[in-house]
Structure 1
Amino acid sequence: MLRRLRATAPVGLVPLAWVFATAAHVGAISDRTVLIGHLVMTALLAAFAVLSADEMRRHPVLRAWLGVIVAGVGVTLAGAYGVATGETGAARFAVAGWMLLPTMALAYTGSMLPREERARLYLVAAVASGAGAALLLGGVGPVSLALGLTGAGQTLGIATAVAVYE
């Protein structure tokens, strides 16, 4: 049961994280709620990494995603620090990190997997996620659009993974 939860929970958690980030951006949730969210996410990421590391080390694509998760612990802690102290640079680093790390892993996944494992969908997901990152980092367009594009791309990536492997 724990293995199934680890395999399928991200398909709900990834879009939830981007809805949460967008809600924080538009001021729909308090800084305290954002801080608590960062701390919960850090704990979930760390637990997932510990519980899944042995299995994820066995395949190059999963190894890349393990790297995203482990790096994501630090990125998320930077976000928690930014929210707790009002240090906007740390908060921006966290958002950019969560846009870029999965984008790179999606592109890698799409380039490594065979066609029958829906490799093209991972590449489409990487393009959408990367487009959101480019908009945000380039200061082009509304931030909500950038967050939405990244969230849609990353959701497509994790939904594809769950559909193919579960």
Structure 2
Amino acid sequence: PDDVVVFDGGEYGQWVRLALRDLPNPMMTTAKIGGIGSGIPMAIGVQRELPAARVIAIVGDGSAGYHLSEMETAARLGLPIVVVVGNDARWGAEWHLQRDRYGAGREIATELADARYDIAAAGFGAAGYDIHYLGDLQSALARALRTELPVLINVHIRPERSPVTIQH
């Protein structure tokens, strides 16, 4: 119960909000469909303020790209945050909105590389795991929570629309 879950906005953040709505742990997030990119810095701030807690940040791949280099800050300061990146290789909300408005195959500037965020995090002094199957996530989280290093878990996901994303 002393552990904290942090997440930010965007398509992936809406999935997190929906999935964890009944979680008894404290949560920190941006506003309902709030800005993206703040998850990793928020996790660092929470971990500094609550050093005995385990802090897990859950962010999308677009969000991770904003402040991925802050994994170096977490490593340098000895902050054992765990960052779970949902990697669908796209700006999810924008991709779905464009697909709805203009039709399949007409999405523009919404796809991202299928990046290895775990390798980048390791380059900053953190541990990194790459997950392709849901069944591997639990063991990766267990390993992450046993280490004193910051950890980034790159989870490859399908590009599904969140049921709570605002429709335009």
Higher helix residue share: 1
Fold-level similarity (TM above 0.5): no
The two structures have a TM-score, normalised by structure 1, of 0.29
The two structures have a TM-score, normalised by structure 2, of 0.29
